[in-house]
Homo-oligomer: A and B are copies of this chain.
Amino acid sequence: MMLRCGTMVDHLETEPLSRAWNFSAGPAAIPEAVLKRAQSELLDWNGSGASVMELSHRGKPFMELAARAEADLRDLMSIPDGYRVLFLQGGATQHFAQIPMNLTPEGGSADYIVTGHWGEKAVREAAPYVTARVAGSSVDANYLQLPARESWDLDPGASYVHITTNETIHGVEMRDIPDVGDVPLVADMSSDILSAPVDVSRFGLIYAGAQKNIGPSGLVVMIVRDDLLKRPGRPMAKIFRYAEHAANDSMLNTPNTWGWYLAGLTFQWLKEQGGLAAMGERNRIKADTLYAAIDGSDGYYRAPIAHAARSRMNVPFTIHEPALDAVFVKESGDAGLLALKGHKALGGLRASLYNAVPLEAVEALTAFMRDFANRHC
């Protein structure tokens, strides 16, 4: 709907909500069904007489939970044989450093395609361990678009090519998996994993912090091709070596058992929702709904990212009058729409539309946006 100042719009629901619509960039919304299940069994899981958090990770009940979570993820993502799934700690940031420790020899090099804040950080954290070549970047375009594949200067001798499939802060998403030849493609999918089907066989390694589309913070899920686990890497403690984690089924030391449990519940929920094809379609509709409200606002709201690069997961936008940002954040919060403030690096506003954010939330947001524009002409 076209929005003009002064247009009358239906008034917003003002009943207090017990749960808000949560647009947080991460830690982010978790499916309510998952939270309710966790709540119901928080003191007595699986008839054990104890919380899942109070049980040994090496006991049979938790081992079964862990195996089922992996099996469900394999099923959801159609992970081929020849890939291992790891449940790790440290956040994606730690793995910015740990990936080159594992995949490159001393003196080796790797190529990075930098499309925003997180790609920059991946380069910085990798630098002590590898010659981290920026082989493609859209920094000169202020990360408002993706660097064209033709502009990438890839080194065929690189140990890997690193991409960030979705930039949480800049709101830029790389939907097409780039062809990088025989060099393994490594992807930080922290903020778009499980948001749509993806061809895992195109990647050497996929990793994701859990706190956007998987579960609570403090867990990293990694999918890694067997041959990469056989690379010698460099001298380091066992605890940093992915091959050791794989050989120990991610129980080289005590894992984040609560995170693993909630990830497993989320994977079950995703299967109940129809899997990733269904989620992909829902996420497309959610993003289209919000971008349409922005683009159709006659310039009241603006989404700065080039259309082809717009993220379905994180939608940064601005108001034509920046002084209204703070008003928008305050009033939307009062209306039960949480965490719409933009990242401090960019300012403005941002709505994150992860899997656990339903279309209903997006519709509540667009209704609020129309009402807000009407009230603050």
Residues of A within 8 A of B (CB): 17-20, 22, 24-30, 32, 35-36, 38-39, 42-44, 48-51, 53-57, 59, 89-94, 96-97, 124-129, 209, 211, 215-219, 235-240, 252-259, 262, 336, 338-339
Contacts and interface: CB of A to CB of B under 8 A. Distances in A.
A128 B92 CA distance: 23
Given A25-B56, A239-B125, A257 B216 contact: yes
B235 A128 contact: yes
Contacts of A59: 339
B17 A49 contact: yes
27 contacts: A18-B43, A18-B44, A20-B50, A22-B50, A24-B50, A24-B54, A24-B55, A27-B55, A27-B254, A35-B42, A35-B43, A38-B42, A42-B42, A91-B239, A91-B254, A94-B239, A97-B239, A125-B237, A125-B238, A126-B237, A128-B235, A209-B254, A216-B256, A216-B257, A218-B219, A218-B254, A218-B258
Contacts of A253: 91-94
Nearest to A339: B56
A27 B94 contact: no
A37 to B, nearest CB: 10
Given A27-B257, A38-B42, 14 more contacts: A20-B49, A22-B49, A27-B53, A30-B51, A53-B215, A53-B216, A59-B339, A93-B252, A94-B237, A94-B240, A126-B237, A216-B257, A218-B255, A256-B259
A97 B240 contact: yes
Contact of A255 (B25, B38, B217): B217
A166 B348 CA distance: 51
Q: Which 9 A-B pairs have the closest CB atoms?
A: A218-B256, A20-B49, A97-B237, A93-B253, A39-B42, A53-B216, A125-B237, A91-B253, A89-B89
A43 B51 contact: no
A233 to B, nearest CB: 11
A210 to B, nearest CB: 10
A90 B30 contact: no
A193 B127 CA distance: 36
A128 B236 contact: yes
A42 B258 CA distance: 13
A238 B124 contact: yes
| Residue picked from A49, A57, A129, most chain B C-beta under 10 Å | A49
Contacts of A238: 124-125
A27 B48 contact: no
Contacts of A42: 35, 38-39, 42
A237 B55 contact: no
Contacts of A22: 49-50, 54
Contact of A57 (B32, B39, B217, B259): B217
A42 to B, nearest CB: 4
| Residue picked from A19, A216, A240, most chain B C-beta under 10 Å | A216
Contacts of A239: 90-91, 93-94, 96-97, 125
A327 B92 CA distance: 45
Contacts of A338: 48-50
A127 B25 CA distance: 39
